[in-house]
A = this chain, B = another copy of it.
């Protein structure tokens, strides 16, 4: 288990003082040698460096943070228990920060104000350099007020406070991508089946759907709003195709991948071919669902890990003292084409 090359693990971490003593210099000189500061003989510097190396010295971050008033940690607040949205986002955040040596405190606060408050205070006590707030819904606040903190806050995929900086996905753009893709494939009657009307994104996407249809002179139909579930996909198919095939859609743009999954399964059960008779597009690009549908589902990806990355970089820049314009930045979605829409007539 242990290799000969590795230094024996010390019971207690080695301090700069010990390095200095071992190299026969003062701690001040040792510090400067290791940080490339100050003036000294190249030989002295090298000797100190070697000593530090040999002893396995690593500076105590706590002491550094105390002095620099910068802890190289940030807090990530989320209320997305299930994590389908937060995980790619977090992974992006972490990605952006790890290279800067910044670690991330993860705080799952559910919808519990007391818990959220507790976590925020713990973060502040631990002197995090900033906070990224994220959630499962773009149109809801986290259960805690982050407006007047004395550290920078970035909102990602959650409702920001006024005057704050936020990154969200461009749902209108994503929906346009989907509907225009169907249009380019020659689909004429493009239905839209989505989640509950209480979600802001439902309206944003429905509006984009209607706009694209209008722009291309296609017949506009009312979106069917229900739930974010497979079961609703089944129901919606019953409504759309219950009256027979004539007048029924030749494409369905769904509000998420679970609905799309339900729609595709229901169509198959009715003997309607996907993509031959009807093209289907989902939203979220939840790979494990999209790839398991038959045929694999074309879907809109919100690029959440990019979004997280951008949020992380923005926070870093804020922490570094660079001012930034408040406001909401919408990041583009991308279409992931699989097999549920078919090839274009020419292709």
Q: Which of A80-88, A166-174, A190-198, A236-244 contacts B (4 or more CB under 8 A)?
A: A80-88
Are B150's CB and A123's CB within 8 A? no
Are A90's CB and B66's CB within 8 A? no
Are A87's CB and B91's CB within 8 A? no
Q: Is A28 an interface residue (CB 8 A)?
A: no
Encode A161-195 as 1/0 by CB contact (under 8 A) with B.
11000000000000000000000000000000000
For A145, the closest partner residue in chain B by CB is B1
Copies of the protein in its oligomer: 2
By a CB distance below 8 angstroms, the chain B residues around A44 are none
Best-buried of A94, A149, A162 by chain B (most CB within 10 Å): A94
Whether A125 contacts B9 in the complex (CB less than 8 A), given A98-B115, A161-B1, comes out as no
Which A residues have a C-beta under 8 Å from some C-beta of B?
1-2, 6, 9-13, 58-63, 65-66, 71-73, 76, 81-83, 87, 90-91, 94, 98, 101, 103-108, 115, 118-119, 121-127, 145, 147-150, 161-162, 229-231, 258, 261, 265, 288, 292
A60-B127, A82-B87, A90-B108 are known; give 19 further A-B pairs, CB within 8 A.
Answer: A9-B149, A9-B150, A13-B124, A58-B124, A58-B125, A60-B125, A62-B62, A62-B71, A62-B127, A63-B66, A76-B106, A81-B87, A81-B91, A83-B87, A101-B122, A103-B122, A105-B106, A261-B292, A265-B265
